[in-house]
Amino acid sequence: MPSRFEDGKPPRIAFTYNWPFWNAEAAWIFADKPGEFHVLEGFDPNRMSMWSAVSAEFLFVYHPEGAAFGQIARSNADTNALQVLTNDEGDKDDPGFFISPEFGGETLLVANINHSALGIYRDLKSPDGFWTRIATLTLPTDSPYKYISSVETIAPATGIDGTSYFTFLARESADRASPGGIYVLGLGNDPTNRYTRRVDDGFQTNEIAVRMEPEPFLGSNEAFVYYNFFNNATGQSGLRRASTGIELDTNRGWQMIY
């Protein structure tokens, strides 16, 4: 997995080694120094990891032996210094940094909690160094799918019109072949009125299908989410593009169009 943040240095590449997978170790290298491993101690190969899009850091789930569940950690992509960021309850996955317009451009952390909600963390300068969960974003109560995976931040460096948005897959169960839908949630400044929308076409057609790997894309006029799908009943499969309802107002920048 190549690094995403451009800082004028050679790309970093993260990888696993010493398979089989369930016992794999992980490290990263500078592309021009392939023999210098920066080992990611405590790396959980069963959880997603990601290069930050907004800083020179690698995010992963740190799961020391004997712990009930892992915590989100970051590795500095210059020094390999490791910092564990969270210490609260809940099985964690899909970590990501984003620049939050809601908090004046601070870098916040999003993580998948118990595969059922998105936890938002902020560095409140706690003496123990851990970040504080300041919000928990959940699926609509009437969602037919409850298992969350594949969390991605839309426009992580800027947000859109003052709001941070996230897209993810919700499906029936941990089984990757179970039916699901693609959702978008917003953080915003009003915890009583957060943006929530299912964006795949199954919301209107009631098509039951396997949907996977949502990927956000900012077009010239709108934010979209691409995803893979497969309908077991018809055998139809392919790549689909979902409109999020987030359109570009050329006078004001990004805003919500209902």
Q: How far is CA 114 from the centre of its chain?
A: 14
Q: What is the pLDDT of residues 130-170, one digit of tens each?
A: 999 999 999 999 999 999 999 999 999 999 999 999 999 99
Residue range 208-213: average pLDDT? 96
Question: Whole-number mean pLDDT of the chain?
Answer: 93
Taking 80 as the threshold, does the pLDDT of residue 55 lie above it? Answer: yes
Taking 70 as the threshold, does the pLDDT of residue 258 lie above it? Answer: no
Taking 60 as the threshold, does the pLDDT of residue 255 lie above it? Answer: no
Domain boundaries, the chain: 1-84
Q: How far is CA 95 from CA 52, 104, 118, 181, in A?
A: 9, 21, 10, 21
Residue range 214-242: average pLDDT? 94
In the chain, the percentage of residues whose pLDDT exceeds 70 is 96
- Res. 249 pLDDT band, cuts 50 70 90: low
- Res. 251 pLDDT band, cuts 50 70 90: low
